[in-house]
């Protein structure tokens, strides 16, 4: 099933994942069909997610279970963008205290960093979404930051959509540490311009010919608008219609779900 006009004229796509393609392990309507339409039309696309909890390999497996077949190089996360930033500004070898899941941990280890658990051993703090974060780890991160360790945050998303509903995200951990340290981190993910520049470079696309498809206004839509991209907000995730229509900048398109992007099959002739 092909994309319908005017979406079929867009030359490159950045696609968010949580709230756009799925909630937790549950795929959203037409997710697989939409990606298949991009693949069949040979339209360049990149999954651009602020979720730093998984590695690209883990995302490939999750998407495959939903009928979406892609390679690891089709996925770019805030974890990968953060690891690139840390490598550029704090070259290894260094010891990093991490609050975060496997995605950010693997990205930093792949760059040659040692991960530590105690504030006394930390030369840098990196924080992200962590479903196993506890008070003790947050306290160690607080002590490290108060002791002078630089602090980098993967992304600012305060919440994210799950199968059960809206739950705390990486930004909630950021808020905890800001309250405890009186410090503000360097934030890497959407809506920061750097992650969009990296994504466009991977695609080999220009901003004016690229669209960002997302569900969160203050990251996907705001960041893409600032970067010069067109924007589509899908209402299957965080933002509702009233919020989206009132938001400035307003998305170029607002859709109920991904079925709105697909052309209806032509009826057989009588």
Q: Please provide residue 11's backbone torsions phi and psi, each rounded to the nearest 5 degrees.
A: -90, -20
Q: Which of 18, 157, 215, 220 is catalytic?
A: 18
Whether the Cβ atoms of residue 86 and residue 97 lie closer than 8 Å to each other: no
> 119 CB contacts (<8 Å, ≥6 apart)?
97, 140, 141, 142, 143, 144, 147, 149
Q: Which residue is it, tokens 């540490």?
A: 177
18 is catalytic: yes
CA angle 25/47/67 to nearest 5° reads 45
Beta strand pairing call for 22-23 and 26-27 = antiparallel
- Give the C-alpha separation, 154 to 221, whole Å: 18
At a CB cut-off of 8 Å and minimum separation 6, what does 141 contact? 97, 99, 119, 122, 125, 127, 151, 177
Question: Which pairs with CB-CB distance under 8 Å and at least 24 residues apart come from 134-138?
Answer: 137/99, 138/99, 138/173, 138/176, 138/177, 138/180
3-state secondary structure of 191: coil
Question: How many CB atoms within 10 Å of residue 226?
Answer: 14
Residue in 16, 130, 157, 215 annotated catalytic: 16
215 carries an active-site annotation: no
Whether the CB-CB separation of 218 and 226 falls below 8 Å is answered with no
Q: Quick check: 191 and 218 in contact, CB under 8 A?
A: yes
Active centre residues (catalytic): 16, 18
């Amino acid at each position: 099933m092909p994309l319908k006009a005017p979406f079929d004229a867009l030359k490159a796509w950045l696609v968010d994942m949580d709230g756009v393609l799925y909630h937790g392990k549950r795929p959203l309507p037409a997710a697989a069909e939409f990606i298949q339409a991009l693949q069949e039309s040979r339209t360049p696309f990149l999954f651009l997610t602020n979720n730093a909890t998984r590695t690209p390999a883990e995302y490939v497996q999750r998407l495959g279970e939903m009928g979406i077949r892609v390679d690891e190089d089709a996925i770019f996360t805030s974890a990968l963008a953060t690891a690139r930033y840390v490598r550029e500004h704090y070259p290894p070898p260094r010891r990093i205290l991490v609050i975060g899941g496997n995605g950010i941990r693997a990205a930093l280890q792949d760059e040659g960093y040692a991960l530590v658990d105690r504030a006394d051993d930390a030369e840098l703090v990196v924080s992200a979404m962590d479903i196993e974060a506890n008070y003790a780890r947050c306290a160690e991160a607080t002590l490290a930051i108060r002791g002078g360790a630089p602090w980098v945050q993967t992304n600012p998303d305060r919440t994210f959509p799950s199968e059960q509903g809206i739950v705390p995200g990486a930004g909630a951990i950021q808020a905890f540490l800001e309250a405890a340290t009186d410090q503000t981190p360097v934030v890497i993910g959407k809506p920061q311009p750097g992650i969009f520049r990296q994504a466009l470079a991977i695609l080999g696309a220009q901003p004016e010919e690229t669209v960002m498809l997302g569900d969160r206004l203050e990251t996907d839509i705001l960041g893409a608008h600032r970067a010069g991209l067109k924007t589509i907000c899908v209402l299957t995730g965080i933002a509702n219609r009233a919020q989206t229509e009132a938001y400035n900048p307003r998305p170029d398109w607002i859709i109920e779900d991904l079925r709105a992007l697909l052309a209806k099959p032509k009826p057989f002739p009588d």
